Amino acid sequence: MLALRRQSRRRNDPQWVVEISHLRVGKPALFLSLLFFILVALSGSVVSADSRVLQVPITGTITVAHADAFADALEIAYRDGYSAVLLVLSTPGGSVDAMLRIIEAIDNSPVPVVAYVSPAGATAWSAGTYILMASHVAAMAPNTVIGSCQPISYSPLGSAPVEDDKTINALVAVMLTHAESRNRNQTLAEAFVRNNTNVDDLEAYEYGVIEYRAESIARLLEEIDGMPVNLTTGTVTLDTSGASVVVYSMRPREAILNAISDPTVSSILFLVGLFALIYGFSAPGYGGEILGGIAILLALIGMGFDVNVVSVVMMVAGAILLIYELATPGFGILGISGMVILMFGTLFLVPFTPEKWAVSGDWYSTFTTLIIVVGICIAAFFLFAAMKIVQVRRRPPVIGGMIGDIVIPRDNAKPGEVIFVLYKGEYWQAKSASGIVAGNKYRISGKEGAVLVLEELRQ
């Protein structure tokens, strides 16, 4: 009974060693006892080696695809017995809807969720900070930054903080509720939203916003091992020391949705689609209509069909002006006006309201610059191609105008044999009833289908 009672002690406890030494047992019993303890120790190492953590990266702009992927990762972690889910954050923020879905999933998760801002130099601004504060365990790598949670209204001419109490109070409530439930600094949590405060990893740790600072994932897993975590299902103790890390990968559907859900990507797709349609209408048969339709459809899916109506009206008006300009000679005020209207329409395409997007002001500036630059390049490409095709179609018919012109063949040919001759920079099939001698001058006397009929000029 003594051995059974003492199993709960640590193996390096001095009292445990002393009491074993005072046991009066025979050599066979002592051997069996030692063998039993060795097996217990080995079984303990096996359990630790089998401990696994599922790493879920959240990088770039947070979209609904991240919310879907995180829900799937939680299901896998619970089903396959993972010790914890590790969210690795490096984001400027993103969709408020996706952020709230991720937070709700964390609140109801049967598996501990550890949020870690990494790698060094990364940020978890705005929506990323909300997710960090909602996680069961919060950690940051060296030289990382969180904050900038104040809602911002977007305009192509610049962004400005939102002063609407309803919006701010709603986001403050989300932040404070989770800061209180995770026993974190509520004053600083509120300042993230109301004052757009930013802190680095040292300040976040010192002021009690995060629990750990770690230079690597392996180090973080060692430090959080044994930490009790309160879940909806009860309190669990983290078993992460020496755990193997399995990186979660988005399924193809989620990866595609994540790519096209980024506001920058969806706006560019819409712009490409619109110019491709203009190209297709001005030059049918080259595939512009198909490319345009697919690009616009993908853009609408990425935007969740939540498109600014004014933006669409502006873009349609711009497209009409460009199509009209292509149908008339030259490229003047209508074409330039159409391009300008299209650019502004694209910038307003995604409704960046504070209720829908929680991103930093720097991200807005980058978005505006990128859309303008890429938009001008796309417009120039498609308009150049469309104008060239329209110019070719406006040329007068070649046949009739080429009769009587002179060509000089470079090859010999027998009577009636067809060869290629160069005429005004283009290769044409040609033949002559009397044969062709390279270097001599021939007059175009007619045309049979696609073949020019030549007659030699006599000296």
Tell me the sheet residues that pair with 58.
89
Question: What is the tens place of the pLDDT at every residue in 134-154?
Answer: 999 999 999 999 998 887 765
Domain-located, residue 441 = yes
189 lies in the same domain as 290: no
Number of domains in the chain: 4
Specify the range with the lowest mean pLDDT, choosing from 281-295, 325-339, 404-418, 431-445. 325-339
Question: What is the tens place of the pLDDT at every residue in 11-27?
Answer: 334 433 333 334 344 55
* pLDDT for residue 21: 39
Domain-located, residue 129 = yes
pLDDT of residue 166 exceeding 70: yes
Highest-pLDDT range among 5-9, 352-356, 390-394, 432-436: 432-436
386 lies in the same domain as 277: yes
Name the residue with higher pLDDT: 394 or 268.
Answer: 268
* pLDDT for residue 260: 77
229 lies in the same domain as 267: no
Domain-located, residue 400 = no
Instruction: Please answer whether residues 272 and 295 qualify as being in contact, where contact means their C-beta atoms are separated by less than 8 angstroms.
Output: yes
Interatomic CA distance for residues 224 and 216, integer angstroms: 12
Specify the range with the lowest mean pLDDT, choosing from 179-183, 206-210, 225-229, 285-289. 285-289
Question: What is the tens place of the pLDDT at every residue in 176-186?
Answer: 999 999 999 99
Domain-located, residue 209 = yes
pLDDT band at 10 (very low <50, low <70, confident <90, very high): very low
pLDDT of residue 420 exceeding 50: yes
* pLDDT for residue 207: 96
What phi, psi does 172 have (nearest 5°)? Answer: -60, -40
Domain-located, residue 401 = no
pLDDT band at 165 (very low <50, low <70, confident <90, very high): confident
* pLDDT for residue 142: 96
Q: Which of 227, 253, 279 is the last residue of a domain?
A: 253
How distant, in Å, are the alpha carbons of 116, 135, 360 from that of 231?
19, 11, 31
Highest-pLDDT range among 89-103, 311-325, 395-409: 89-103
Specify the range with the lowest mean pLDDT, choosing from 281-285, 319-323, 337-341, 390-394. 390-394
Tell me the whole-structure pTM to 2 decimals: 0.62
Domain-located, residue 152 = yes
445 lies in the same domain as 313: no
Name the residue with higher pLDDT: 402 or 73.
Answer: 73
287 lies in the same domain as 238: no
91 lies in the same domain as 219: yes
* pLDDT for residue 67: 92
Question: What is the tens place of the pLDDT at every residue in 239-292?
Answer: 999 999 999 988 887 787 777 777 778 778 887 887 777 777 666 666 677 777
Specify the range with the lowest mean pLDDT, choosing from 92-106, 230-244, 327-341. 327-341
219 lies in the same domain as 274: no
Q: Strand 419-423 relative to strand 52-59: parallel, antiparallel, unpaired?
A: unpaired
Give the structural domain span for 238. 51-253
pLDDT of residue 102 exceeding 50: yes
* pLDDT for residue 284: 65
203 lies in the same domain as 143: yes
Q: Which of 236, 253, 270 is the last residue of a domain?
A: 253
Specify the range with the lowest mean pLDDT, choosing from 42-51, 123-132, 152-161. 42-51
Name the residue with higher pLDDT: 352 or 146.
Answer: 146
Specify the range with the lowest mean pLDDT, choosing from 100-104, 379-383, 386-390, 397-401. 397-401
Across the range 34-61, mean pLDDT stands at 66
* pLDDT for residue 20: 34
* pLDDT for residue 118: 95
127 lies in the same domain as 141: yes
pLDDT of residue 6 exceeding 90: no
Instruction: Please answer whether residues 352 and 154 qualify as being in contact, where contact means their C-beta atoms are separated by less than 8 angstroms.
Output: yes
Specify the range with the lowest mean pLDDT, choosing from 92-96, 198-202, 341-345. 341-345
User: Residue 96's Cα: distance from chain center in Å?
Assistant: 16
Domain-located, residue 440 = yes
Across the range 407-431, mean pLDDT stands at 89
246 by Cβ neighbours in 10 Å (0-12 / 13-18 / 19+) ranks as: middle
238 lies in the same domain as 363: no
* pLDDT for residue 311: 67
448 lies in the same domain as 356: no
pLDDT of residue 9 exceeding 50: no
Q: Which of 348, 363, 394 is the last residue of a domain?
A: 394
74 lies in the same domain as 201: yes
pLDDT of residue 86 exceeding 80: yes
Domain-located, residue 278 = yes
* pLDDT for residue 2: 32
